[in-house]
Amino acid sequence: MKKGSNKHLYRIISFLLMMVAINFAYTKDKGLSRSSQNDYGAFRFESKGTLRFTSDIMQYQGKGKRTCIDILYSVNLSENWHKSQSIDSLLFLNINCEILDDKGVVLSDTTVRKKLALSYKDSVKASTYIDIIQYSLLPGKYEIKLTMQDSVNGDIDGINEYFLTVRDFSEQFSISDIYFIAGIQKANNEASDIKNGFEKNGYILIPNIKRSYFNIKNNRLLIYYEINNFKFDSEGNAYYHVYYSITDMEEKEVKSGSKKWLIASAPGIARFESVSIEDLSPGNYKIKIEAVDVKNNTSASITSYFFISAPPQQYVSLLPMTEDDIKKYTKQMLYVATNKEIEIFKQLDKEAKQYFLLDFWKSKDPDPITDENEFMREHFKRVVYADANFKGGVESDMGRIYITYGPPQDIERVYSNMRNFMSVIIWYYALEGEVEFVFVDRIGDGTYSLVHSTKFGEYSDPGWREKYVR
């Protein structure tokens, strides 16, 4: 293979993936900028105007007679990058949400300002910003206007409008709207950087606002919904059945399934469904969920739509996504990705992980004109060396320093003997003057820990000799 051909393939795949993601916004449902009054399962909506964003609305049972409304939205940063005031800058968005009743009276008018980084090199590697706006409304008819404006360039804006019938979940046996999921994790204190609005019943649900999925091997459609107002028998039991079916746009059923004699432990319950979609052809589909309260012979159903796309075959074969592969990719990004980037990567589904990786390493290329990604080549060379030569590999102190700063200019070794408590290795670098990194084998097993450095920002302990050398 000609030198550099892998690089060209990488660029082609990355470009195709970007175009596939952007083209989702221009499928045949793109005209749905205003929803009908009763179309609970309509496709997500693309904005009108010069600033492109995608939004979706979900309804759930609230407190008393109120209904919880989730307005989900996503902004593709790469699409709006060229509209910013400089190459490495920030996009300042004014996001306004206005709610009017059926008489045109404004009930709520709120504006928030978001600061979004637009530099792939220094700030954001994930190309999409996702957020949520939440309301609690009484059942009825409303108009919702969601607008976004670049506060620096005021002529760049976009708008989505909805005519929404807010459903009444307060008394009748019912099912919430279907929440399409891109990633899921248990909610805990460590996930404090993830907005609480995405938490439902103990889980952080990262939404798939575009409702778009690849039909690749082992891929699954993951959804969340809630069933409300079960009736319990005299012994405190409630049993229910769940059925699902997926049909194409010609109303032909392509998948179905059921789960029967399930036990409801509370009047309202949350459920997840996972359905294989690897054998579905590209196109639009409708999923229907039906629940039956067995004791009362009462049923409720909800439908919603999603989209299947076929990625380029090279994209799938280039980046296998087994659990071991994902661990390897995560380890390869250590010390060059931020903690936030690693956290985002872990939350993404397998297809989004591949896109993230291609975009991440592309952003590190110091000279995109050449056939080689010089940074990636040198970084992976250091990773391989660290894994092969240091106990603990990439995740050891020596591995981190070697990967971050490269091979040392000079090495001093002081081996353990009657005079010295422990073996010591000192690495010397010419980094803005001479700096040193001191490693000590504290327990004699060949694992060297960093105990001192003269490099600014690294761990420093000038009294290390008194502790480790007699």
Taking only the tens place, the pLDDT of each residue in 367-386 is: 777 767 888 889 989 998 99
pLDDT tens per residue across span 260-310: 999 999 999 999 999 999 899 888 899 999 999 998 899 999 999 998 887
What pLDDT score was predicted for residue 45?
Answer: 75
Is it the case that residue 351 has pLDDT exceeding 80?
no
Q: How many domains does the chain have?
A: 4
Q: Are residues 309 and 238 in the same domain?
A: yes
For residue 431, what pLDDT band results from cuts at 50, 70 and 90?
A: confident
How many whole angstroms separate alpha carbon 317 and alpha carbon 320? 6
Query: Sorting pLDDT into bands at 50, 70 and 90, what band is 1?
Result: very low
Tokens of 347: 């939350």
Cβ atoms of 259 and 241 closer than 8 Å: yes
**Co-location of 94 and 52 in the same domain:** yes
- Return the minimum-mean-pLDDT range out of 119-123, 216-220, 253-257, 298-302: 119-123
Q: Which of 167, 197, 228 is the C-terminal boundary of a domain? A: 167
**Looking at the structure, do residues 373 and 402 belong to the same domain, yes or no?**
no
Biggest alpha carbon–alpha carbon distance for the chain = 90
Judge contact between 164 and 37, C-beta under 8 A: yes
Considering the domain architecture, whether residues 67 and 139 belong to the same structural domain is answered as yes
Task: Give the pLDDT confidence score for residue 52 in this predicted structure.
Answer: 82
In tens, the pLDDT along 176-207 reads 999 999 988 887 755 444 456 788 888 899 99
- The token pair at 6 is 């892998």
DSSP string, 368-399: TTSSS-HHHHHHHHHHHHHHHHSTTGGGSHHH
**pLDDT at 310 (0 to 100):** 74
Least confident residue range of 3-12, 221-230, 416-425, 431-440: 3-12
**pLDDT for res 233:** 83
Mean pLDDT (the chain, rounded): 81
CA 181 vs CA 11, 74, 345, 360, 387: distances in Å: 29, 14, 15, 23, 36
According to the model, what pLDDT value does residue 436 have?
95
Report residue 417's pLDDT band, with 50, 70 and 90 as the boundaries: low
Same domain (yes/no): 77, 163: yes
Query: What residue numbers bound the domain in which 5 lies?
Result: 1-26+319-389
When pLDDT is averaged across residues 316-334 and rounded to a whole number, the result is 80
Neighbours of 290 (CB within 10 A): 16
Residue after which a domain boundary falls, among 124, 139, 167: 167
Residue of higher predicted confidence among 132 and 121: 132
**Residue owning tokens 């059923």:** 253
Residue 309's closest CA among 361, 362, 355? 355
Q: Are residues 45 and 114 in the same domain?
A: yes
Is residue 20 within 8 A of residue 124, CB to CB? The reply is no
> Which of 167, 187, 211 is the last residue in one of the domains?
167
Q: Above pLDDT 70, what percent of the chain?
A: 80
Strand order in the sheet with 239-248: 212-214, 298-309, 283-293, 239-248, 253-263
Contact (Cβ atoms closer than 8 angstroms) between residue 275 and residue 257? yes
Considering the domain architecture, whether residues 201 and 295 belong to the same structural domain is answered as yes
Does residue 436 contact residue 411 with C-beta atoms inside 8 Å? no
Spatial separation of the C-alpha atoms in residues 119 and 139, rounded to whole Å: 43
- For the whole prediction, is pTM greater than 0.75? no
Question: Is the pLDDT score of 27 beyond 70?
Answer: no
Average pLDDT, stretch 124-152? Answer: 85
